[in-house]
Amino acid sequence: MKTLMFLIITFAYFHQVTCQVPDNENKALDEFISKQIKIEADVIKSAALEHILDALFFNVKRIPLYKGDNSYNEMVLMKNADGIKEFENTDMLIPIIKEDIKLNNEAVAKQFQKVFTLLFKNDIVRNQEIINKDNQWIFVQGEWFGKKTGYIVKTDSNGKVQEIEKSEELKL
Amino acid sequence: MNKIITILMFLCLTVTINAQKNYPVFSIEECGAACLIENEPIMFSLESVDGIPKLVMRDLSKGEVIKSYESKLPDNTVSHIVANSKNGLLYFITIKKHSESDKKLLDAIYSFSPKKEKLEIIYTEQEETPIPISVDVVGNKLVLSISVFSKQPIIFNLETKEFEPFSDDENLRMLCAAPEQNGFVVLNFTEFDKDDNAPFYFMSLDKKLSQKLGVFNSTMRISTEEEENSLPGFSITNSDYNWITEVYNLSGFPHAGFSIATRAGLAEKYSSLANKFDISNILTANSNYLVASGKGETFVYNTKNITLGKPQTVSENDLKLIEDCIASRVSYQKKQIASSVLPKVFLAEFHLITETTKLDEYGYTESSFIVFKKKDKYAVLKNKPQLLTIVNTSFKLGNNEDAILFQDALNMLYPPGTFEKKHISFYKNNNEWFFVRNISFDKKEGFIVSTDSNKKITEIKYKLNMDEL
């Protein structure tokens, strides 16, 4: 019995004792919490995005005011006919490349590079380069520990994009 | 790299002190070089218009394009654009790659007349000259700064179209050009003392050197202790030259990372920018505006009349869609922190809120915070000293029993982890009670609670090293 009492006291002492909140309190808290989240959004304006992709993009910051430290989460959201969702990776690019876009010259390649720079915000962009080898375009975005990082875009013989791959170690 | 991170940390720390955020007046797709016109809300920038690089003149108050020039631009990359307020011309500096390496070199100098829309090449460099870090127009001379302290600037005479020496004294170095004053702020690098101080002078275009105007201190020290920070700056003894600080602060563009902190006034402006983390480069600035770029965009700020509210660039409908999209990934679990101890110590009800954010099909992140309700009003418990605002007015911290009660209340709000439990303890020293919450690397972490002569709590502090007072 003594042991049991000790365990109960210890549990009460060292653990946060919580219980569910009633419905009215729950509703009031929901309302309060919603005011603790601030959303800042901006349209990403870019001729390159408009020319290459069939979607609208937003830079979004979610600022949890409850933290009180000015921190925020950043993301890119994409809006097209299918609705709005977070833009996360290169796989999401190919379905939204406009039908008539052909990656077969340097001018279009430069626009692709802008697209990568604008949509992949976490990339370290420095000393950008574009290298074309047959149906493959290599977009060097930067360097990380001596390794070139960026994107490899493969096209068919007409310049239609077939594959986009991110690489942390580009082989030039 | 560490230095850059330290500088950025310092600049960020400064930001937290500076409460007013300056939002961009407008943003555009990242442009190449840009140049501001002094005393006029006008910017010239190299932008991509329908995929073609063009020189664009913008109204800075609204961001609207006043004119997009059809003239062909130089083939090579333009690194700098500068304006000559005397003749209304713009000058473009272009760069080229070394034939055998990736090294970038000075290529050519062009002039451009916005009135006549005429681009003219005025000089082609045949030598292997490094690219300038900044360019200014002083009188009829282009001043190409190659390095701050190790080399003198290169002076290009716009009339003779030839280079000429900066000064006959090879020990003189330019701190900044002073276009409005027709000269340069200089120092003699052999006059630096052991504390990195050197007298500075004004040198006119005809190379006449003023008397000593004061002392330039080049020390840059960045510390987490604010009072230990030191950025380069001037102690001016001749008040006729007080303008030097402002001119120096707005010189040497572009600046990136570490370089921003070489100008204290510029670092202060940078610190107030609402989206400073998006910025990798300050392209240019004058006394009214600042132009910066990063992450594929160029932002223009009014630094004289700062933009406090964020300009709305998203429609109400789209904003609602965005908010709904984000909200759909986040859920909150709310639980009341129930205890018979808490009401004795604090006059509030506490709720633990756990926020769960869905990352993908399988992953999620969780974070928690405490909300308290006092007199039917909710507030977030953002920091531990805030507890003082809700201490029960009848609670006294006078003896060990009171301290046990207070410690129990802390345990309810901040349950100790497995490795912290053994360190939970308290002790008293004069009118201060020390509630130890953890010991790590011999450092005691916890609450220091001060009381008055009536045993009422007057202050609650939280220290990571309680012995360091």
Summarised one tens digit per residue, pLDDT across range B87-141 is 899 999 999 987 777 788 999 999 999 999 999 999 999 999 999 999 999 999 9
Q: Provide the number of structural domains found in chain A.
A: 1
In the predicted structure, residue B460 carries a pLDDT above the cut 80: yes
Instruction: Quick: pLDDT tens for B168-191.
Output: 999 999 999 999 999 999 999 999
Residue A135, in any domain of the structure: yes
- CB–CB of B435/B466 below 8 Å? no
| pLDDT for B86 | 85
pLDDT, one tens digit per residue, over B200-224 is 999 999 999 999 999 999 888 877 7
The whole-number pLDDT of residue B43 equals 97
pLDDT of residue B469: 57
> What's the rounded mean pLDDT across residues B454-460?
95
Q: Which pLDDT band, with edges at 50, 70 and 90, does B236 fall under?
A: very high
Distances (CA, A) of B163 to A39, B123, B329: 54, 10, 63
Question: Is A132 inside any structural domain?
Answer: yes
Within-domain flag for A154: yes
pLDDT digits (tens, 9 = 90+) for B61-81: 889 999 999 999 999 999 999
Could you give the C-alpha distances from A5 to A11, A95, B46, B263, B401, in angstroms and in order? 10, 64, 77, 66, 21
Do the Cβ atoms of A38 and A65 come closer than 8 Å?
yes
- Nearest chain A residue (CA) to B339: A17
For A66, the closest of B16, B369, B412 (CB atoms) is B369
B280 touches chain A (CB under 8 A): yes
Q: Which domain holds residue A158?
A: 37-167
Nearest chain B residue to A28 by CA distance is B378
The answer, as to whether pTM is greater than 0.80, is no
Is A74 part of any domain?
A: yes
Strand order in the sheet with B34-36: B34-36, B42-49, B52-59, B65-68
Q: What is the 3-state secondary structure (H, E, C) of B145-162?
A: ECCCCCCCCEEEECCCCE
In a domain, A56, yes or no: yes
Residue A138 belongs to some domain of the structure: yes
* Chain A / chain B CB contacts < 8 angstroms: 137
DSSP E strand stretches across B183-264 = 183-188, 197-204, 214-217, 233-236
**% chain A with pLDDT above 70:** 89
Is 70 exceeded by the pLDDT of residue A166?
Answer: yes
Residue A7 lies in a domain: no
Do B30 and A17 make contact, defined as CB atoms within 8 angstroms?
Answer: no
Helix axes B2-17, B264-271, angle to 10 degrees: 60
A172 is a domain residue: no
Question: Which tens digit of pLDDT belongs to each residue from B303-342?
Answer: 999 999 888 889 999 999 999 999 999 999 999 998 899 9
Of A14, A110, A118, the CB nearest to B415: A14
- Judged by a CB distance cut-off of 8 A, whether residue B103 touches chain A is no
Where exactly are the structural domains of chain B? 2-133+252-308, 320-463
ipTM rounded to 2 decimals: 0.84
| Phi, psi for residue A162 in degrees, rounded to 5 | -105, -35
Contact A42 B314 (CB under 8 A): yes
